[in-house]
Structure 1
């Protein structure tokens, strides 16, 4: 798709150079310059190209300054006089409507010319005519905005005759391309969104069928001033991404991290909707900054999914007292923990009750206990006893032991699942941080490349 770009050209001129007509213009005594009667014949020949020999082409010199005046110079062979005979007059002005003018156009022109015409031309005694006019050009330029807002555009403006071929009108630059570029930079150095880099030119021949036209092509190289888009797009997006990165430091087991991230995603979506008008709408392809915003939004969604997964690992699986699968222990607690340098805290030694063959409480059902007694001689003896209260106490202690054992096992499994969740959280956080860093480096490098050009 080709986008429309407007250029205001200033300082352009048409210049024609011809051999003096036979006899030239005459001047009467007491008159300053050629008389109107002597020029009436020239005015009557307006429809014809001013050349004594029609086999000789009319030379036209073109010069323009971006944001300035279009100037065209040409040579009129019938408008020549001797200044000594005309009181030293070397320059006059005449209405442009009474003279033949070259049909110089811009081939990339795609809109009506609404600029104001200059009604007069300046004529030198040698027959050179200068025609200055403001020309507002809306031209077609193929925009390359992949690096937006750090893009550099190269647009062409081709000047040439519309009807006269190379046999009739020859086109040459009136100034050097360096002078044209320097003059344009003085006008454009502090105006608008664009900054002029350089104006280059090339003279060539345009062919259509068997006919050839002499043309001049000016290449206008401009680059965008990105500060507006950096302040309004990149910096706010970076702030939201930094907050999303810092949200990983919220403890997932005690804070509702998911709600916080959902709020960030909603805010980022509103930001994109508001700033959508600042992005170019008509161009070839998609700018990398649009891809950057889409990827940032996708990363925020991925971070939310990661939070949901980690929350499920920390709360759901551990509350069901499921054992950590062996492959998870080997992969996560072994390799990934060492990869991300995760220091797993040492478990404190816990006192576990041990079975005592002499005690009344074992994991098996209680056996009949022996009641110690002392006989008449003072000797300690044991007598079998079947007291119900003692059996009940033994059963209660056995239940307490099994309950404590299950609690201890659940606590150990919960600690293992917590370690798995923390390790996965650290791993995904580092991957997320790496991706954000790579995107930031790409934007910074593009800005540096743009700044050095």
Structure 2
């Protein structure tokens, strides 16, 4: 039995790596030989225009191979598109739907012929299914392409191919809705190969970004909610592990037309707020202002429910217009609470006409009334005290524009009733007893009139306390609404300028 040394076996039989390398070289040699034969077979016959069917059939049979004579040289593909329509923007799902006219160029090194030998034919159309096409996709694509496909491409005699296709692009986009309805969206379209790395396929824009933006603005047919602002982009390299892909990123900037939302949302809301402000001019003592304001709040709530479908909503945050509506509703509620307070003050007669506390007369009827320039009724203004009043009396005395009862509660005047008796006769008995009854009735009537006068004075005091508070709270309410409106307008202007 012969014994063979292990080293001799290794010398006679190559390893698995060497076998793989030998096999790869053989395949490349066969492939390059076939490519050379394929490139030389694209000929024309005399009396016929264009390449022969047999020569092109050889190219069609090798559709699976990248059309490059030297596989170390990448195929360069040029991309350009025209934004034809903005079909919709879904803020809830963060999806942008557009319609593009996409144009793709690349060089097929096997489809080359001499135009002079082929009857002057420089361009022919061929079915796209019979040719190798770079696998260019949009990385943000999130739905099936249901647009109509163009089945043909144009092939130049130099081997340059142009493929025009229509693309209904449903792409993911990070939508910012805080400044709605004055928002500007910036969505990206990233074109790149799915399988071929940078060593096989290189990408570049076919037109400048300014030209693509100008063409899109010229051919944009939709005049709905969105308008195109600009298109710009850049080329870059995407790295994933040890492989690199060549990509082109286009940024499409679109701007919302806010007229629809201003007319349907902002103007009606502003009108309701204006009515709420004007309701302060209703006399609170003779008109049920609270019922009016409650009806207004109910109408505003129904308005928000109807217009809820027009407002966008995302998980990232609430748009500024939603905050605007919420604050407007809160201001209406505050206005209703103010009306409740004033109504409670004006109807203090249910509390047996309690006298106005001294601190209320000093703070509200004197200082607050002077601060808000409250005009007292002329019939309540009385002349000041006499010259003989002391210095202390002058310190507590209100000014000449305030009523005389501002700092001193009204006290009823109790005048003792003198019972008038008739002349007493010799027997000591009243001659006219009816006179005593009349005097008693007059005394009761005087006491009743005095009480009514006191109640009127107290009621008038509480009414003026309510009026002064109403004027004060109304001015505070106006200041709050003015500051709030200025903040909202400034925030919207800042976002629009950005």
Per the TM superposition, whether the score is higher than 0.5 is yes
Q: Give the match for residue 272 of structure 1.
A: 304
Matches of 2:454 and 2:412 in 1, distance apart? 15
Cα separation, partners in 2 of 1:303 and 1:30, compared to 1, 3 Å: same
- Equivalent residue for 1:103? 135
Aligned to 2:335: 303
| Greater shift in the superposed pair: 147-156 or 253-262 | 253-262
Matched, 1:331 2:363: yes
Classify the secondary structure of the residue corresponding to 2:117.
helix
Residue 85 of structure 1: how far off its partner (Å):
1.6
User: C-alpha offsets along residues 325-368 of structure 1, whole Å, 9 cap, x if unaligned?
Assistant: 23322332233223322123352559x9998xxxxxx7457589
Higher mean alpha-carbon deviation, 326-335 vs 47-56, is at 326-335
Alignment of 1:199-214 (within 5 A): 199-214=231-246
2: CA distance, partners of 1:20 / 1:450: 63
C-alpha RMSD over aligned residues: 3.1
Do the aligned residues in 2 keep the contact of 1:33 with 1:87 (CA within 8 Å)? Answer: yes
1:139-186 deviations in Å (ceiling 9; x for gaps)? 111111111111111111100001111111111000000001111111
Quick check: 1:177–1:201 contact (8 Å CA) kept in 2? yes
Structure ranking higher on relative contact order (CA contacts 8 Å, 6+ apart): 1
1:61 to 78, 83, 103: 78
Q: Is the alpha carbon distance of 1:159 and 1:409 closer, same or farther for their aligned partners in structure 2, counting shifts above 3 Å?
A: same
1:437 corresponds, among 456, 460, 482, to 482
SS in 2 for 1:420: helix
- Say whether residues 1:178 and 2:210 are aligned partners: yes
SS where residue 69 of structure 1 aligns? strand
From 439, 460, 472, the equivalent of 1:427 is 472
Task: Please name the residue that 1:11 is paired with.
Answer: none
Q: Structure 1: how far apart are the matches of 2:455 and 2:188?
A: 75
Q: Which residue of 2 aligns with 1:38?
A: 55
> Shift in Å at residue 387 of structure 1?
8.0
Residues 368 and 386, structure 1, Cα contact 8 Å, conserved in 2:
no
Give the match for residue 316 of structure 2.
284
1:158-237 matches, cutoff 5 A: 158-188=190-220, 191-237=223-269
Are 1:21 and 1:52, in contact at CA under 8 Å, matched by a contact in 2? no
CA-CA distance at 1:404 after TM superposition: 3.3
Task: State how many pairs are aligned.
Answer: 420
| Correspondence list, 1:24-423, <5 A | 25-67=42-84, 68-188=100-220, 191-282=223-314, 284-317=316-349, 320-345=352-377, 347=380, 363-364=415-416, 392=437, 395-423=440-468
Check conservation: 2:80, 2:206, Cα contact below 8 A. Answer: yes
- Deviation per CA, 1:292-346, whole angstroms, max 9, x where unpaired? 1122122222222222221111113576211222332233223322332212335
Structure 2 vs 1, CA of residues 142 and 23 (structure 1 numbering), >3 Å: closer, same or farther?
Answer: same
Within 2, Cα distance between the matches of 1:413 and 1:19? Answer: 115
Q: Give the TM-score taking structure 1 as reference length.
A: 0.84
CA distance in 1 between partners of 2:491 and 2:351 (Å): 50
CA contact (8 A) 2:147 2:166 kept: yes
Q: Deviations over 1:245-302 (max 9, x none)?
A: 2211111111122222222222222211111111114463111111111221222222
- SS of 1:66's partner is strand
Q: Distance in 1 between matches of 2:294 and 2:247?
A: 60
The CA distance in 2 between the partners of 1:426 and 1:164, in whole Å, is 76
TM-score normalised by length of structure 2? 0.77
CA deviations over 1:53-105 (Å, ceiling 9, x no partner): 11111111110111241111111111111212211111111111111100000
Gaps of 5+ in 1: 1-17, 356-361, 374-382
Secondary structure class of the residue paired with 2:317: coil
- Preserved CA contact (<8 Å) 1:144 1:283: no
